[in-house]
Amino acid sequence: MTRVCVVGAGAIGGLIGARLAKTGRAEVSALARGETLAALRQHGWRLKSGDKLITAPVNASQSAGDLGPQDVVIIAVKAPALSELVQSLGPLLTPDTIIVPAMNGIPWWFCHQQPEMNASPVESVDPGGRISRSLPLGAVLGCVVHASARRIEPGFVEEVMWHQMLLGEPFGGASDRANGLAEILNGAGCTTNTSTDIRTEIWYKLWGNLTMNPVSAITGATIEQILADPLVRDLCSAAMMEAQIIGARLGCPVEQSAEARHEVTARLGAFKTSMLQDAEAGRDLELDAIVTAVHDIGHRLGVATPHIDGILGLTRLFGQVRGIYPLVRQID
């Protein structure tokens, strides 16, 4: 039986973990802490999906050593937590373990084979290269999650929408291991497909989140309200055009226009982004992986990003005033 450890049993981690465990096709454990760990130990996995309650037992611990070597490690923590957590994950890993970062924004490995980036880490997503040193690039399977879930309470998650998960080799090509894991996830009701160009898929998702997430956080507005304001809509379009230029330089072209993407996004209606939900709950903002990294990459490539910079500066200040973004993070 495939051994799967979900690192971070929040909204997305809880959704995937519960569905996988319920099938009985995988031995699913959870690395968690605090109230979430206590809830998992008391109740097991709990997922509300429509009018159904999905439950399953779980071996949960705050220590990777208690859980032991895994075949698959799904990392579903918020990006700001990973650089501190990563050094404790060693007991989960073997030479054959597949690491799947089911996270928002730019992953730490994204620019590793980009000559223009000089093979050095993007500090905003991999401070000091700690993540790169702890998680072997050869173990990583790229991932994009197109889904929405919310935490009802610690250890109890509600599935809002699951569209699909995409898996693929970090630097392209067909993949037997991606196909194998996709089969397991599909069997658990988590619609999963594979991609031969996962970096472009990651950049495309980021292209929308880059503006909608921070603007919603600082204004408290839903997607519907943001796109209904022509001035704000134009600001988002201008920032997305800057990101298109950066993406093309990185080999991740986006052919769609910003306006066409807005029309797709508008179908979500009165939807609260994950960053707005975090801001309302007083949780740390995932600003660096979604916005700061794009600023940093653009700076290193010599691409001007005045609109991205403005959104970033306002959101950074918003978070610092409320204590949900670190004061020490400096941005040029």
| Gap between the Cα atoms of 71 and 320, Å rounded | 39
> One-letter amino acid identity for 112?
H
CB atoms within 10 A of CB 299: 15
Q: How far apart are CA 192 and CA 228, in angstroms?
A: 32
Count CB atoms within 10 A of the CB of residue 186. 14
Torsions phi, psi for 56 (to 5 deg)? -165, 150
From the candidates 52, 78, 205, 272, which is the catalytic residue? Answer: 205
Buried b (16+ CB within 10 A) or exposed e, 241-277: ebbbebbebbebebeeebeebbeebeebeebbbbbbb
Phi and psi based region of residue 290 (left: phi greater than 0; alpha: psi -120 to 50; beta: remaining) = alpha
What letter would DSSP give residue 25? S
Helix (H) or strand (E) holding 162: strand 156-168
Of residues 154, 147, 155, the one with CA closest to residue 57: 155
What span, in angstroms and rounded, lies between the C-alpha atoms of 37 and 290? 27
Q: What is the rounded distance in angstroms from the CA atom of residue 6 to the CA atom of residue 102?
A: 10
Q: What is the dihedral of CA 141, 144, 66, 90, to 10 degrees?
A: 40
**Phi, psi of 30, rounded to the nearest 5 degrees:** -140, 135
The yes-or-no answer on residue 272 being catalytic is no
Q: Which residues form the catalytic set?
A: 205
